Amino acid sequence: MLDPGILFAGVLNGLLAGGIYVLVAVGLTLIYGVLHIINFAHGSLLMLAMYAVFFLWRLSGLDPYAALPIVIGAAFVFGYLLYRLVIGRLSHGRDENILLITLGVSIVVDNVALLLFGGDTQTVTTPYASAFVRLGDAFLPLPKIISFVAALLVCAVLGVFLARSDTGKAIRAVARERQGARLVGIDVDNIFALSYGIGIACLGAAACLLMPTYYVTPSSGHAFVLVAFTIVVLGGMGSFAGAAIGGLIIGVVESLGGLLLGEQLGQIGISAIFILILLLKPSGLFGARQ
Amino acid sequence: MTRQDLLPALALAAAIVLPLVAPGYLVDIGMLVFFLAFIGQSWNISGGFAGQTSFGHAVFFGTGAYTSTILQITFGWNAWLAWPAAMLAGAIVGWIIAVLSFRAGLRGSYFALITLAFAEAFRILANSVSFTHAGLGMLIKADQRAANFQFRDPIWFYYLALALCIVSLLIAWRLTRGRFGARLVAVRENEDAARALGIDVFAEKVKALTLSGAIAAAGGTFYAQKYLYIDPNIAFGVDKSIEMLLVTMVGGAGTIFGPLLGALALTGINEATRALASVLPALKNVQPLSLVVYGVMLILIVGRLPDGLARLYQRIHRNA
């Protein structure tokens, strides 16, 4: 049987990892909630943002946390343009088309990254990378605590933005009732592109928070895409609270799965949850009934 | 014989005669084209004709590859005998996934994602359990005799791939002529309307994925026998799933010759980038470049040419 101390540390580490997952999944669920598109390129775009963080650090010595505003801004513009120029224009509004187009985008992004950056694993080294905070028996890496807090902060800002600002209200209006929003004079196409941009901006934030403790390769996107979809499906497609709680649950499941089943087999927890939720309760834990 | 039959007949004659005089590497490329067209056709049956887009067809391919390999290595079966067993395993996995997913009412993107998750679960399992030799992969002992489904002369793999490709084309042709295929197309175009016509939508989709699973599994065994090695990433990796989807989507989903055209295009692009790389030594990595081209083609075809290269061919043909 596992020592309770190890279990405690496992749960805490899982929660900390879950914070980043929340950030990745919130972007995905926003894009789904508004545009009803399954953004298969989500993982690949996260990978791209991680490379942006890496090169900013490598070329100008910019700390990943200091890079937050730059990468968030750049990711927003990239997402906005990607929607305007490619996804929106070519999808003709059919959801399977969008799925295939975002798949195409992910293939292109992954392989361009492989061509330009090579297949090597890249990491950022920071002075605080190995700093720890001790909590009972658990040693928690400081960067993970920072990223956890920052991730929740970004989510909170996003929540306030959606609830209070005019643009946020327009986004929610479009998500709820597309035709009605058009009728009251909201530029729906622009809201689509904005929402996609915001979703990708969340990835920019996630990339900055990930890089101090994580590595990036051109295939990093693969590792995140199924995780992000599992969280979104678990929480209910389009539900923010669901994405938040789902992210934390998946973080813990992954951490405990690794402890109980070993490094290799432990990863199966994510796929198993994904399959079971889709088969048994496709609306997710917090999703609205369709 | 009409003019329409002439082209396929000439192509077939060329496919049979040319490898006898062509250099070895061209024979290998030809083998690859027909093999890709074959596994692409498996995707086409469920993804193209029945309209159930899958992102995880590697689950069937890998099931076939592992079933026949385990039967040979662990249980001492003859490879030819293991082949139908592998197809049966692929059919069973297809049936199970179909029954579970379609009973839960999954369609469109949700079905695509759950197939991806199944393939991923199989990959992780194959990477962890001992009877698949985990991450080490499985090496089939080389004993190059036709009785072992191993050939000394690669031309036999070429002819076998050609035969498989022809069989898959005949199956697709049957689908465009028979009632089963017509029902699948009805399901693809509008499930509710199909149901109103008295079609058992659930049963038809299950049949399509079962058949598709058996064919993909046959491709898995062929791959294992040709290269005599498989591991979890080769067998169940997302790359294989994407490859099957790509050749079909680019060539023309739901058409007879779509997967073959797509396989020709993919292999052609591959060889063109290889040639480019020999001129420009800076291009060390050839595979990603051709995939970039292919990804762009996928985006453009979904957006501008939903029926793929097959339709382009028809258009040009009609205008001529």
Q: pLDDT tens digits, residue range A219-248?
A: 888 888 888 989 988 888 888 888 889 999
Kindly determine whether residue A271 and residue B124, on different chains, have CB atoms separated by under 8 Å: yes
Q: What is the CA radius of gyration of chain B?
A: 19
The mean pLDDT of A187-200, rounded to a whole number, is 92
pLDDT digits (tens, 9 = 90+) for A65-108: 999 999 999 999 999 999 999 988 887 767 778 888 999 999 99
Q: Cα–Cα distance between A26 and A231 in angstroms, integer? A: 9
Kindly determine whether residue A264 and residue B124, on different chains, have CB atoms separated by under 8 Å: yes
CA distance to partner chain B, nearest, from residue A149 (Å): 30
Name the CA dihedral angle for A195, A199, A204, A210, rounded to a multiple of 10 degrees. Answer: 160
Residues of B whose CB is below 8 A from A267? 124
CA distance to partner chain B, nearest, from residue A47 (Å): 16
Q: Which of A38-47, A174-183, A215-224 has the highest mean predicted lDDT (pLDDT)?
A: A38-47
Residues of A whose CB is below 8 A from B135? 264
Longest Cα separation, chain B: 61
Kindly determine whether residue A222 and residue B238, on different chains, have CB atoms separated by under 8 Å: yes
Structural tokens at position B296: 């762009």
Please determine, for residue A289, whether its predicted confidence score (pLDDT) is greater than 50: no
The mean pLDDT of A5-34, rounded to a whole number, is 88
Q: How far is CA A10 from CA A54, A244, A256, A258, in A?
A: 28, 19, 6, 9
Question: Sorting pLDDT into bands at 50, 70 and 90, what band is A281?
Answer: confident
Structural tokens at position B250: 């680019």
Residue A223 contacts B, CB cutoff 8 Å: no
Residue A105 contacts B, CB cutoff 8 Å: yes
Residues of A whose CB is below 8 A from B302? 90-91, 97, 100-101, 104
B238-251 and B308-319 are packed helices; what angle lies between their axes, rounded to 10 degrees? Answer: 20
Residue A111 contacts B, CB cutoff 8 Å: yes
Q: What is the pLDDT of residue B3?
A: 67
Q: Cα–Cα distance between B2 and A146 in angstroms, integer? A: 73
Question: Sorting pLDDT into bands at 50, 70 and 90, what band is A290?
Answer: very low
pLDDT digits (tens, 9 = 90+) for A256-266: 888 888 877 87
Q: What is the pLDDT of residue B287?
A: 76
pTM attached to this predicted model: 0.91
Residue in chain B closest to A262 (alpha carbons) equals B128
- Tokens 């190890």 correspond to what residue? A6
The distance from CA B252 to its chain's CA centroid, rounded to whole angstroms, is: 14
Q: What is the pLDDT of residue A213?
A: 87
The mean pLDDT of A35-56, rounded to a whole number, is 92
Partners of B138 in beta bridges? B230
CA distance to partner chain B, nearest, from residue A283 (Å): 11
The residue ranges of chain B whose pLDDT is under 50 are none
Q: Judge whether B61 and B217 are in contact, CB under 8 Å.
A: yes
Strand, helix or coil for residue A285: coil
More confident residue, B35 or A179: B35
More confident residue, B109 or A58: A58
Asked casually if ipTM beats, i.e. exceeds, 0.85, the reply is yes
pLDDT digits (tens, 9 = 90+) for A143-157: 889 889 998 898 889
CA distance to partner chain B, nearest, from residue A129 (Å): 30
Residue in chain A closest to B298 (alpha carbons) equals A104
Residue B60 contacts A, CB cutoff 8 Å: no
CA distance to partner chain B, nearest, from residue A222 (Å): 9
Residues of A whose CB is below 8 A from B104? 278-280, 282
Residue A166 contacts B, CB cutoff 8 Å: no
Q: What percent of chain A has pLDDT over 90?
A: 40
Q: Report the DSSP pairing between strands B138-139 and A122-123.
A: unpaired
B window 241-300, beta carbon within 8 A of A: 242, 245-246, 249, 283, 285, 287-289, 291-292, 294-296, 298-300
Long-range (24+ apart) CB contacts under 8 A made by B124-130 are B124/A264, B124/A265, B124/A267, B124/A268, B124/A271, B124/B232, B125/A265, B125/A268, B126/B62, B126/B66, B126/B232, B126/B235, B126/B236, B127/A264, B127/B232, B128/A262, B128/A264, B128/A265, B128/A268, B129/A265
The mean pLDDT of A177-191, rounded to a whole number, is 88
Q: Which of A27-31, A212-216, B43-47, B191-195 has the highest mean predicted lDDT (pLDDT)?
A: B43-47
Q: What is the pLDDT of residue B320?
A: 52
Query: Which region holds residue B183: left if phi is over 0, alpha if psi is between -120 and 50, else beta?
Result: alpha
Q: Cα–Cα distance between B8 and B20 in angstroms, integer? A: 19
